Amino acid sequence: MSAIPAPLGQRPRGDKVRGTIFYVLLLISVAVGFIVLFTLIVDVVQKGIGYIDPLFFTEPNNPTNPQEAGAKPAILGTIYLMVLLLMFVVPIGVGTAIYLEEYADRERWYNRLLELNIQNLAAVPSIVYGILGLAFLVRGLGLGRVLLAGALILTLLVLPTVIVASREAIRSVPDSIRQGAYALGATQWQVVRRQVLPAAIPGIATGSILALARAIGETAPLLLVGALTYVTVDPSLLGSFTALPVQIYQWIARPQEEFRYLAAAGIMVLLAILLTMNAFAIWLRNRYQRRW
Amino acid sequence: MPDMESAPAAPATIAGLDEKILTERREAVSRTRRDVLFDVDGLTVSYADVPALKNVSLEIYKNFLTAFIGPSGCGKSTFIRCFNRMNDLIPTASVEGKILYHGTDLYGHEVDSVEVRKRIGMVFQKPNPFPKSIYDNVAFGPRILGWKRELDDRVERALRNAALWDEVKNRLKSSAYGLSGGQQQRLCIARCLAVEPDVLLMDEPASALDPISTTAIEDLMHTLKRDYTIVIVTHNMQQAARVADMTAFFSVEVDEEQDRRTGILVEYDETPTIFTNPGDKRTEDYVTGRFG
């Protein structure tokens, strides 16, 4: 230790005040979102908790007696929709993403057009997809108002999201990995199959789950392709169906107070499924996070 | 180099080169039989029709270590990538002229680039291990070639030849990303050796490494020379002088009118000649550090 350093002065007062104001503003922004969500959840739980009983999961809807009404067809319908959706959207979405990232020649006009279209499709309102589903799947192809039509329309709805997320994941695999594999005499298919895809899977899975979570909350397109509200039988692929959001929508529209509580119970179940899926996506992301 | 300062350096020699070593090397090179492995004839490489490297002709001999040196932008990396057709992966790149390998034109119509890369391996500037275990990194090449028998032996042999076995034999199943930079680079070399190539191309293999790792890689090159033909690109002249039998000096030709910089081959000779008695003024300026 040699010379005594110059005394450290205080920061100018204005500097400090500005910092504090900014910090408070940040806290307020956080609080707004948090309080709204918290109030919503408390309200829903207060109303709905009394209706979460075994009957809710085992009985179909009962339009005359809310006490005995359940949501079994709706819950099953949502689960079936999710499974079908995953089966359709992951292969098509990942396939498109691989094509665009690994094979497509960016110079070609049709590839650029395709890219532009996908970006635009992600912003199209879901009701438009519903109209498309009604015109093309239900009437045009003559599928009728069935579960399969619902799953297909949800697939179209979230396909752009899955494609964008998968492309992002594939693009984040560094080029040096591809070069290393090519230099060992790998073909393009082997590079994609054995290096790029395994490295991109965590990102693809996270994106797909988040897209799925968005899809199961959708009501509008399902209403248009004919999700019914008075279904008492369990759903089947080519039969009429309903889903949780549709059931909630219908219950809320009823004049009787008790149906609102039933709707709250439905919202609780839907929220629980959504939170579980999001938590799983976050876990997956952290578990397989890579540093290059 | 312990007696670096006491060594009587010839006037036109780069600082730090040991005349005794050079003399020994000169004798060794002149004793070795010269079998032509690559015969490059009038090679020009262009990116989007702008030539990056013009009219290069030289011969590369079997079991020799050949170094390409020169300033940045002289096309030496572009050139080395022609030998295993890595430039094919860049859509705008085009190659004119011939590279005969065992008498066959590498760019002939009947030659498949994947087949070329199986025989001519490449190690890159930055270590690029795959995001897999150490074992799987080395086993990747044999697996894509369908060599499944005695895979363990093959992996061990490759790691031994890359002087890495003793350091990793107890953690073959752990991630390659846990290795140090120098170990990762030797792993990349082992990965190439596992497919039993004929030629090893190394594009500045030690430029991202510390001095100790660099020495390890250089020692390895000396050992590998017995069984392989090695071509390296280096910006480190001492390294070229230490390891190479033959050295090619590339330079940049600037076209002021069109604002184009094109790489050209200035001189190609035995390493000691290049460093002590170069035939071209530009080479002399470069190796003595007078390059402007």
What stretch of H or E contains B243? helix B237-243
* SS3 state at B121: strand
Residue type, B38: F
A185/B118 Cβ within 8 A: yes
Do the Cβ atoms of B53 and B44 come closer than 8 Å? yes
Shortest distance, CA B124 to any CA of chain A (angstroms)? 8
Sheet holding B36-47, edge to edge: B104-105, B93-101, B36-47, B50-61, B260-270, B246-255, B65-69, B229-233, B199-203, B120-123
Q: Tell me which DSSP letter residue B65 carries.
A: E
Cβ-based contacts of A176 with chain B (< 8 Å): 124, 126, 128
Rounded CA-CA distance A94/A208 in Å is 9
Please, which residues have CB within 8 angstroms of residue B238's CB and are 6 or more apart in sequence?
B14, B16, B17
Could you give the CA distance from residue A153 to residue A135 in angstroms, rounded to a whole number? Answer: 11
SS in 3 state form for A86-101?
Answer: HHHHHHHHHHHHHHHH
pLDDT score for A34: 94
Burial code (b: 16+ CB inside 10 Å, e: under 16) for A136-171 equals: bbbeeeebebbbbbbbbbbbbbbbbbbbbbbbbbbb
Residues in contact with B88: Cβ distance below 8 Å, sequence separation at least 6, in sequence order: B113
Per residue in A205-227, pLDDT (tens digit) is: 989 988 988 888 888 888 888 77
Position A291 confidence tier, pLDDT thresholds 50, 70, 90: low
Q: Per the structure block, which two tokens stand in for B102?
A: 């065992």
- Gap between the Cα atoms of A58 and B244, Å rounded: 79
If we measure between CA atoms, which residue out of B16, B47, B78, B50 comes closest to residue B250? Answer: B78
pLDDT, residue A95, reads 95
Chain A nearest C-alpha distance from B115 (Å)? 6
Helix (H, G, I), strand (E, B) or coil at A64: coil
DSSP secondary structure of A121-148? HTTS-HHHHHHHIIIIIIIIS---S-HH
Q: Which residues of chain B lie closer than 8 angstroms to A290, CB-CB? A: 131
Between CA A219 and CA A230, with CA A225 as vertex, the angle to 5 degrees is 75
Angle at which helix B181-193 crosses helix A175-183, to 10 degrees, equals: 30
Alpha carbon dihedral B77, B81, B83, B89, in 10-degree steps, equals -170
Which structure tokens are listed for A31? 């609080």
- Closest C-alpha among B75, B86, B60 to residue B265: B75
- Along the 292 residues of chain B, how does pLDDT read in single tens digits? 444 444 444 444 555 566 777 777 777 777 677 888 999 999 999 998 888 999 999 999 998 999 999 988 888 999 999 999 998 888 889 999 999 999 889 998 888 989 999 999 999 999 999 999 999 999 999 999 988 888 999 999 999 999 899 999 999 999 999 999 999 999 999 999 999 999 999 999 988 888 888 888 899 998 898 899 999 999 888 888 888 999 999 999 888 888 888 999 999 999 888 888 888 888 888 888 776 4
Cα–Cα distances (Å) from A177 to A91, B116, B147, B199, in that order, read 24, 19, 21, 21
Identify whether the C-beta of residue B235 lies closer than 8 Å to the C-beta of residue B72.
yes
Instruction: Report the gap between the CA of A287 and the closest CA in chain B (Å).
Output: 14
- Measure CB to CB from residue A179 to each of B86, B119, B191 and give the nearest one: B86
Query: Left, alpha or beta for A23 (phi > 0: left; psi -120 to 50: alpha)?
Result: alpha
B76 touches A at CB < 8 Å: no
CA-nearest of B93, B153, B162 to B127 is B162
Q: Which of A95, A93, A82 shows the shortest CA–CA distance to A122?
A: A93
Distance CA A243, CA A84 (A): 13
Angle at B66 between CA B90 and CA B202, to 5 degrees: 45
- Does B86 lie at the interface with A, CB-CB under 8 angstroms? yes
Helix (H, G, I), strand (E, B) or coil at B132: coil
pTM of the model as a whole: 0.81
Please report the ipTM that was assigned to this predicted complex.
0.85
Q: Where are the alpha helices (DSSP H) in B88-133?
A: 113-119
For residue B276, the model assigns a pLDDT of 86
Phi, psi (5° rounding) for residue B280? -120, 140
B146 touches chain A (CB under 8 A): no
Per-residue confidence (pLDDT) for residue B58, from 0 to 100: 93
- What's the one-letter identity of residue B120? I
Tally DSSP H helices, then E strands, for chain A.
12, 0
Q: How many beta carbons lie within 10 A of that of residue B11, not counting itself?
A: 6
Q: Is B48 on the interface with A (CB under 8 A)?
A: no
Contact call for A176 and B124, based on CB within 8 A:
yes
pLDDT of residue A59: 83
- Element at B202 (helix H, strand E): strand B199-203
| B224 φ/ψ angles, rounded to the nearest 5 degrees | -70, -25
* pLDDT tens column, A153-190: 999 999 999 999 999 999 999 999 999 999 999 999 99
Quick: pLDDT tens for A99-143: 999 998 888 889 889 888 988 888 888 899 989 888 888 888 878
Closest alpha carbon within chain B to A197: B131
Q: pLDDT at residue A241 above 60?
A: yes
